[in-house]
Amino acid sequence: MTKNRRIATDIFNGLYGIEAIDKFIAIEFALTESLDEKENEIWLHLLVALSYMQRNGHSCLPLNVLAGCTWFSDPGLSDVVEDTDTKTLDEVKVGYRFCALTPLIGVVKKALLAPNISSLFVYSQGVFYSRRYFEFEQEVAGQLANRTRFVNLEEQALSQVKALWPAMFPTSMQAHQDWQQIAVAKSLVQHFSVINGGPGTGKTYTVLRLILALQAMDAGLNIVLAAPTGKAQQRMTESILSNIAGLRGKVDDTYLNRVPTTATTLHRLLGIREYTVATKYDQYNPLNLDVLIVDEASMVDLALMTRIMRALPDHARLYFIGDADQLPAVELGNVLEQLVGHSAHDAPHANLDEAKLGAVPTPLRQHIASLCPHLPLLPVDEDAKTWVHTLQAPQRFKGQIAKVATAIQKGEADAALANITPGVDELADSTTYVSVLQSGVTMRSEQDISKVQLQRMAKESYATVFAATTVDDALKRLNKVRWLTPIRNGSMGVEGLNTLIYDAIKHNIVRREGSFYQGQPIMITKNNHPQRLSNGEVGIIWPDSSGKLYAWFETQEGDLRHIALSRVPQYETVYAMTIHKSQGSEFDNVVLLLPKPESAKSASLFHRGLVYTGLTRAKKGCLIIADSPTFKDMVINLDTRYSGLANAISEKAMGLSEVSQ
């Protein structure tokens, strides 16, 4: 083993972009007996590659992406090669070229003959896994496959839903399909469904009507609402309450009053404890609920999904709500994208044959027709994936933002740029200014924006907060605008922008206490259950009626509560935030800063999901500050995470189908 540790250590000298954990895994699971020296070299590099991929959100490593390719080479290698200085060339990290696919598979299979290796790693159908994540995928797939089977409604339940339907949906004869109605009808006969759609496509509209229909089936159902973050939880509560108000007078209050209006975070629901993988609720102590509805499901990672499935009672229904084109979870896995499938990266149904749009198996078509005789019949496909419902026809999200967002979804960078209003000519006077608060989508070049202009934008964005007369008014003004960026460091990162904005508005500050000041926006960066604050929640520092400063936050009911400054948990000032942190939030106007990546490594992290998520936080207008090449590169670069979950679900579902036959 000593020799192998030395070999393992030596190989790192030529690899670019690896970290300590990659080195540890390679050294820890190096082999001496099962493999010869050349095979062991391949195996060590395979372990480094697997660790690297897991760090970057992939649950597995398809061996065909390695075969015959050079990995871990310095992006600046080509520049060095042109230099005749041999010493410099020797110092550069040249990476490692993997062998062809067949011998690569042979090395993995041979390594897995060792018991200590086979207990920790898995090879399956050309894909290399850590056993932990392989078993997570298999466990989730088995649970979901069981819940996606068609289950006919009892006659009484169907009759009760039919009676409620006209109060929820328009029932006049329609020439075009109503995908919201279709999604609800399909979800009633399956214990797992995904309702997928971009901003304004009516996800909350659909979810509320699904809840009402479920209650019509069984008034005693215990329905629980949850989301991955505190902010998403808050937004879910607000949306449900707003939509309930719109149904008053149309739907009997008996139904509306039973709708759950308080969401919780998934971590709190499951009883996930800090610094441990254990949960209060699991397969041995399941949750006490009949229906679980999870909003912002794109944030759910593979480990969290596994915990959800373990804690879910066998009879319970699970519904995922989200937008598969938004950013995936911070941790490993892209569960929602795997559930939705390839259509996640297209405009909804864009590439499907019209004749096959929304195709379903015969029993499901009959069920939908019984509930919705006023809608066109869906085409038949006995092998269709029935548990994914992609909503169309934006109800709120229209106009220029929708056009640009749709082009970004499809990876059409030129079309996105064509729909963006360009900023002033680059040769224009340097004092020329583009307002942050205009409607639509406007773009200015990063190089064309001076520090003076950014400061002017900062004043327009946030100086009005300090003119508020009440804390409620201050919070509303604060949440009208938010600056978003993909990075934390540098002048165009969160830290640099927050400093710039503070310098622009600091003369408005009238009251301070320690590091806090009146009008300061703060974001909680760590869950704190005693204070009922979750990571990502945004509040404001503002005085009470006596003039004493407090930290104020919105409650789930839309009210305000305050806590003493001494009890504020870990936080950061948040005029600007990362795009990741903004997920689940909405603002009237967004300033989206997309700086040119500093390196080839950072460029790979600038991708389509960041642009799409940042843009779609804006309800009215978005000012993009980016050079056209940077913007185009990001739109073209799709952040694909390798996973075997979709295939595993298909295989499990096929197995269940064969058993039932």
**What confidence tens digit (pLDDT) does each residue in 54-97 have?**
998 899 999 999 999 988 887 665 444 444 444 454 456 788 89
Give the span between the Cα atoms of 426 and 56, in whole angstroms: 38
**What is the average per-residue pLDDT within 464-482?**
92
- The two beta strands, 549-554 and 538-543, are antiparallel
Between 130 and 447, residue with greater pLDDT: 130
- Contact (Cβ atoms closer than 8 angstroms) between residue 578 and residue 494: yes
What is the per-residue pLDDT for 229? 80
88-92, 157-161, 621-625: the lowest-pLDDT one: 88-92
Place of tokens 């709120």: 396
What is the per-residue pLDDT for 521? 94
Whole-prediction pTM: 0.83
What is the per-residue pLDDT for 656? 54
Contacts of 277 (CB under 8 A, 6+ apart): 303
Backbone phi, then psi, for 293, in 5-degree steps? -115, 120
Q: Is the pLDDT of residue 152 over 60?
A: yes
Q: Output the known binding site.
A: 197-204
What is the per-residue pLDDT for 350? 40
Q: What is the mean pLDDT of the chain?
A: 84
Contacts of 391 (CB under 8 A, 6+ apart): 179, 180, 183, 195, 196, 197, 201, 202, 203, 206, 348
**What is the average per-residue pLDDT within 369-397?**
80
**What is the average per-residue pLDDT within 485-508?**
91
**What is the average per-residue pLDDT within 549-559?**
81
570-580 confidence digits (pLDDT tens): 899 999 999 98
Q: Output the known binding site for ATP.
A: 197-204
What is the per-residue pLDDT for 123? 94
What is the per-residue pLDDT for 344? 37
What is the per-residue pLDDT for 79? 43
Q: What are 377's two structure tokens? A: 């019949």
What is the per-residue pLDDT for 280? 86
**What is the average per-residue pLDDT within 512-538?**
84
Q: Please state, as a whole number, how many other Cβ atoms lie within 10 Å of the Cβ of residue 250.
A: 10
What is the per-residue pLDDT for 90? 46
119-134 confidence digits (pLDDT tens): 999 999 899 999 999 9
- Contact (Cβ atoms closer than 8 angstroms) between residue 94 and residue 73: yes
Give the span between the Cα atoms of 402 and 587, in whole angstroms: 15
Cite the beta strand spans of 133-191 per DSSP E.
none
341-366 confidence digits (pLDDT tens): 754 333 343 444 455 678 888 888 89
Q: Which domains does the chain have, with CATH numbers?
A: 1-147 (no CATH), 152-342+353-394 (3.40.50.300), 398-634 (3.40.50.300)
What is the per-residue pLDDT for 600? 61
Give the span between the Cα atoms of 256 and 248, in whole angstroms: 8
Contacts of 287 (CB under 8 A, 6+ apart): 224, 269, 270, 281, 311, 312, 313, 316
> Mean pLDDT highest for which of 78-92, 178-192, 531-545?
178-192
Secondary structure of residue 449 in the 3-state scheme: coil
45-54, 400-409, 415-424, 445-454: the lowest-pLDDT one: 415-424
- At 481, is the pLDDT very low, low, confident or very high (cuts 50, 70, 90)? very high
Q: What are 534's two structure tokens? A: 């979750």
Give the span between the Cα atoms of 485 and 623, in whole angstroms: 12
